[in-house]
């Protein structure tokens, strides 16, 4: 505990009075305004404070001490950006001798040429082996403009990435000189807020899961001489032991899904009990494999021709004739082409991302003749409306989706992969309980410029199988227009299968004899974190 650390220096009060997740290099130095210490003393005390925290602090405090230490090791350019963003928030009324002293600590000097309330000019020189970077930077700040909550609570390197995107997105004025950089600036070896969250243990009711795993499956999945059910059951028990012994985190996505009775049949094989040859034999049984191209040859040819015209600067407008399907594809392409930017943006909200890249090519899901209800925005009780692409029948989703814009983080990808699979499992249970079938769900993931789709079924006792369907790239700027054929094909093929499952479910009677498949159902793991993900 920090309260047990015996530190006579007043500078240690910052660590005692500030939550460890909020420790920040600039704010620490700003807290030293009333201390009469030179730069050497400040640096020496700082290093001593961090060493004591690493030796006597809690695990969380130790990790944040390492993160803070990483901030002090940042390259000069990133330090300047961080300080300037803080200056823009609090103004110039403070004594900045300690804050700017940080800029010189263990780095070459920075010569400030001009500074006023709205513009900072600086000449930066970063010494590198074999490289020198010299740049003249210009940034505009609004005085007293408060940073967002996300920027205040995020840590390095996440914060640096956000600032870097903001800095690069700033358009140069006519009198400013372009920044030219000839060396790579690496991120610090700190621990980010995302890494701390990624380190969060996911708690399941392991007692109930243990009882479920003791039930002998009545119908097992066998492929040739491979008893997949028994092999996967052994894996689940190993994961259960690991969860009891050391816990599971978001990085353990496939293990968390295994405790939820979900088996993902993707490549490479995520399960150690199968050889590559066995896994190849198992995945070859995928019932959702596409056997025919989703688009007719003439439409595919037209899409390729129009992409070629774009590349040579020709007139780009697609017209495939009067047939309804052809007109729909042409509309999808034209809406996409005339809505995307020349260059992919480095940062977008989920709403902007979906409106620009997803909704134009999801036209195949529209239409009054569809057997499902299309939902493009979702609002739950107590939560704001957010982007969505789901197809529901009787308020039960047949298609579940998750989106993250370009620039999404690894943690966001892991969470959404876990979330969309748990949603699919829940949909299957709802179908069986309300109408006795069909027990199939469609999953769609869009992470940045990648699109993946899966089909989940429940054909064997306690085994929810997630089958990969298609993986394609998303068109995010004019340069990626040649990918439009594959992106549109993905949605067309996906909608065809969604329509078949929706029709199967919609016209079933709610008065039914419970099928044997009902006994295959497993309850969702009881976990506050799972409930939060599914909210």
332-359 pLDDT, tens digit per residue, is 999 999 999 999 988 888 889 999 999 9
The whole-angstrom separation of Cα 230 and Cα 243 is 20
Ordered by start, the domain boundaries in the chain are 2-176, 201-283, 297-534
As a whole number, mean pLDDT of residues 259-280 equals 96
pLDDT above 60 (res 381): no
pLDDT above 50 (res 164): no
The band of 6, judged by pLDDT with boundaries at 50, 70 and 90, is low
pLDDT above 80 (res 429): yes
What is the pLDDT at residue 54? 80
Q: Which residue has the higher pLDDT, 115 or 244?
A: 244
What is the pLDDT at residue 399? 96
User: What pTM was estimated for this model as a whole?
Assistant: 0.64
What is the pLDDT at residue 184? 35
C-alpha distances in Å from residue 153, one per residue of 18, 89, 191, 253: 13, 14, 13, 26
Asked whether the beta carbons of 35 and 11 are under 8 A apart, the reply is yes
Q: What is the per-residue DSSP string for 440-492?
A: EEEEEEEETTEEEEEEEEEEETTEEEEEEEEEEEPP-SGGGGGGHHHHHHHHH
Most confident of 46-60, 148-162, 375-389, 415-429: 415-429
Q: Which residue has the higher pLDDT, 193 or 509?
A: 509
pLDDT above 70 (res 158): no
As a whole number, mean pLDDT of residues 275-292 equals 96
As a whole number, mean pLDDT of residues 28-50 equals 70
What is the pLDDT at residue 173? 40
The whole-angstrom separation of Cα 185 and Cα 74 is 9
72-95 pLDDT, tens digit per residue, is 665 554 555 555 555 555 444 444
Asked whether the beta carbons of 435 and 460 are under 8 A apart, the reply is no
488-502 pLDDT, tens digit per residue, is 999 999 999 999 999
As a whole number, mean pLDDT of residues 434-443 equals 95
What is the pLDDT at residue 440? 97
Q: Which residue has the higher pLDDT, 406 or 11?
A: 406
As a whole number, mean pLDDT of residues 226-254 equals 95
- Please give the structure tokens belonging to residue 503: 């029709």
As a whole number, mean pLDDT of residues 225-236 equals 97
Q: How far apart are the first and last CA of the chain?
A: 36
Quick one: what percent of the chain has pLDDT higher than 70?
A: 70
């Amino acid at each position: 505990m920090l309260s047990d650390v015996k530190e006579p220096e007043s500078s240690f009060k910052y660590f005692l009075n500030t939550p460890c997740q909020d420790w920040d290099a600039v704010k620490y130095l700003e807290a030293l305004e009333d201390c009469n210490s030179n730069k050497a003393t400040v640096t020496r005390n700082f290093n001593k404070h961090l060493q004591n925290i690493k030796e006597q602090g809690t695990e969380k405090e130790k990790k944040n001490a390492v993160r803070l230490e990483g901030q002090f090791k940042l390259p000069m350019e990133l330090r300047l950006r961080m300080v300037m963003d803080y200056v823009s928030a609090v103004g110039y009324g403070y004594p900045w001798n300690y804050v700017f002293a940080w800029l010189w600590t263990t780095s070459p000097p920075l010569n400030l040429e001009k500074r006023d309330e709205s513009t900072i000019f600086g000449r930066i020189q970063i010494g590198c082996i074999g490289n020198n970077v010299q740049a003249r930077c210009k940034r505009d700040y609004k005085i007293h403009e408060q940073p967002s909550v996300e920027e205040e609570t995020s840590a390095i390197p996440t914060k640096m990435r956000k600032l870097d995107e903001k800095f690069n997105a700033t358009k140069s004025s006519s009198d400013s000189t372009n920044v030219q950089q000839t060396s790579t600036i690496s991120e610090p070896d700190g621990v980010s807020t995302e890494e701390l969250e990624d380190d969060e243990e996911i708690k399941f009711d392991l007692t109930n899961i243990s009882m479920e795993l003791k039930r002998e499956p009545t119908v097992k999945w066998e492929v040739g001489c491979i008893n997949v059910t028994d092999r996967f059951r052994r894996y689940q028990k190993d994961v259960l032991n690991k969860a009891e012994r050391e816990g599971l985190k978001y990085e353990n996505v496939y293990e968390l899904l295994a405790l939820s009775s979900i088996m993902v049949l993707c490549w490479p094989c995520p399960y150690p009990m199968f050889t590559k040859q066995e896994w190849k034999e198992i995945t070859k049984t995928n019932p959702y494999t596409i056997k025919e191209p989703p688009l007719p040859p003439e439409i595919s040819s037209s899409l390729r021709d129009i992409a070629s015209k774009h590349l040579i600067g020709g007139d780009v407008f697609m017209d495939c004739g009067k047939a309804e399907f052809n007109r729909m594809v042409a509309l999808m392409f034209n809406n996409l082409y005339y809505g995307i930017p020349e260059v992919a943006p480095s940062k977008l909200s989920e709403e902007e991302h979906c409106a620009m890249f997803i909704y134009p090519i999801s036209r195949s899901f529209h239409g009054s003749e569809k057997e499902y209800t299309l939902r493009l925005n979702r609002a739950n009780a107590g939560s704001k409306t957010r982007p969505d692409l789901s197809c529901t029948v009787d308020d039960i989703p047949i298609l579940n989706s998750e989106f993250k814009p370009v620039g999404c983080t690894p943690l966001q990808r892991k969470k959404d992969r876990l979330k969309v699979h748990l949603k699919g499992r829940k949909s299957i249970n709802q179908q069986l309980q309300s109408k006795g079938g069909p027990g199939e769900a469609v999953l769609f993931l869009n992470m940045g410029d990648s699109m993946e789709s899966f089909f989940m079924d429940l054909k064997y006792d306690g085994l929810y199988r997630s089958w990969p369907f298609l993986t394609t790239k998303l068109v995010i700027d004019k340069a990626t227009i040649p990918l439009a054929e594959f992106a549109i094909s993905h949605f067309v093929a996906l909608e065809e299968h969604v329509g078949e499952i929706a029709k199967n479910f919609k016209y079933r009677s709610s008065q039914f004899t419970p099928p044997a498949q009902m006994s295959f159902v497993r309850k969702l793991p009881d976990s506050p974190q799972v409930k939060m993900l599914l909210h």
